[in-house]
Amino acid sequence: MSHEQIGFVRTEMLPESAPPLASTGIVKWLRENLFSSPANSLLTVVSVLVVYQIVTSAAPWFFNGVWDSPSLTACREILDGKTGGCFAVLSERWNQLLFGFKYPSELYWRPGLAFVLLFIAAAPLLFGKVFPRKMLIFTGLYPFIAFWLIWGGPVSTPVFALLGVLFGAFVYTKMVKTSAGIAVIVSFVAALVFWIVSGYLSGPFENIMALEAIPSRDMGGFMINLMLGVICVSLSVPLGILLALGRQSSMPIIKWICVVFIEFIRGVPLITLLFVANVVLAYFLPPGTNFDLILRVIIMITMFSSAYIAEVIRGGLAALPRGQYEAGDSLGLDYAQSMQLIILPQALKISIPGIVNVAVGLFKDTTLVSVISMFDIVGMIRGPILSSSEWNGVYWELFGFAVVLFFITCYGISQYSQWLERQLQTDHR
């Protein structure tokens, strides 16, 4: 008889089948993240509606945008009642937004080149492990090259400035064995003397490799914001470190100078300092003296941000356990050595987020200079462009452009700082 098999035992494996539709891929993701509960589903629906509304109302504004038109009125005629942005203002005035309205247009390549070189100069500083250390030589030369490119004038000015710095550094290395403190002062004086003397000697070099000189007053646009941001941040970090160390010093005079400076600057709004730079200084200086306005503003903003950075770094110093200081002392290191080798590397690492925070804030604060009649990007928009009879009334397009520029820069800085924090992470979390 036939033997019926009653046991239900498979002889072979079933092929793997796909998981149910509801618990895989996009559906699962949707269920888990967007529709996990009634409240969540409601929020999702509402959000989608809001996003849809925004996109559908903004999209025509972008897609109907007019890029070629001589004035706002002409723009409106082209649009003929449709919604649409008048981006023609950007295509006509982009150079004024970036460089200001007086920088000669045939020389735009100079600040442009300085901007590109900035990345090459910053690369070994920012990504020390990726780029060869020899590139740091270029970084050291960069400030002088950039000055020459942007302001122009004979090449002897930045060359003598550089030689002065080198001379000071040379004196420092000769003196540092006797006393570090005296070496700093003497080398500073040496550099100063060198610059003053070279001022008398530079006459014959005036026409050698002279670029057309551009006065500070002719600069403007986003270039000013970038210049102020880069210069002031790079000056205020070392100043801030000195101030933070000075505030912790056991020498009362240095300590109190630093405390008074920091507390005074932090107690005064930046806009007040800018007014002092622009307006009040003009009363103190003898009439006819032309103390460069950009220089005045750089000094004020640097003072302002160095006080904030000093406090950030002081936080980093305070966060180090007492044992680290004692470890330095027990190894027989002097103050300068223990700071350089033990304390500051750790304290600065802790301070990175704070320093970046100050840097981003400072960069955005550079738009305040528009209040003292400097034509940075906001000054250009609010002043010359909006008050030309062609473009009076264009707001969204212009300020949107400024937003894009600032967002790119600030988001870049913030991403870099997060990367740097991960790179420097030495603890096991």
Give the footprint of other proteins on this chain (CB under 8 A). 72-73, 76, 92-93, 96, 101-102, 217, 275, 278-279, 282-283, 285-289, 371-373, 375, 379, 382-389, 392-393, 395
For residue 102, the minimal CB distance to other proteins (Å) is: 5
Q: In whole angstroms, give the CA distance from residue 244 to residue 223.
A: 31
> 100: phi > 0 → left, psi -120 to 50 → alpha, else beta; which?
left
Q: Which of 183, 386 has the CB closer to other proteins?
A: 386
For residue 71, the minimal CB distance to other proteins (Å) is: 8
* 293-319 helix and 252-266 helix, angle to the nearest 10 degrees: 120
Scanning 127-152, the segments in alpha helix (DSSP H) are 135-151
Q: Which of 70, 345 has the CB closer to other proteins?
A: 70
For residue 217, the minimal CB distance to other proteins (Å) is: 8
Name, in order, each residue with C-beta under 8 angstroms of 240's C-beta and a sequence gap of 6 or more: 305, 306, 307, 308, 309, 310, 312, 313, 355
Q: Which of 93, 110 has the CB closer to other proteins?
A: 93
For residue 21, the minimal CB distance to other proteins (Å) is: 49
Q: Which of 22, 193 has the CB closer to other proteins?
A: 193
Q: Would you mind telling me the total number of residues written for the chain in this entry?
A: 429
Q: Which of 77, 326 has the CB closer to other proteins?
A: 77
Q: Which of 364, 382 has the CB closer to other proteins?
A: 382
**Are 354 and 319 a contacting pair, CB within 8 Å?**
no
For residue 92, the minimal CB distance to other proteins (Å) is: 6
In angstroms, the Cα distances linking 250 to 211, 321, 426 are 49, 18, 31
What is the DSSP track for 15-32? PP-PPPGGGSHHHHHHHH
Q: In whole angstroms, give the CA distance from residue 283 to residue 8.
A: 103
For residue 384, the minimal CB distance to other proteins (Å) is: 5
Q: In whole angstroms, give the CA distance from residue 175 to residue 182.
A: 8
Name, in order, each residue with C-beta under 8 angstroms of 177's C-beta and a sequence gap of 6 or more: none
For residue 134, the minimal CB distance to other proteins (Å) is: 42
Q: Which of 296, 314 has the CB closer to other proteins?
A: 296
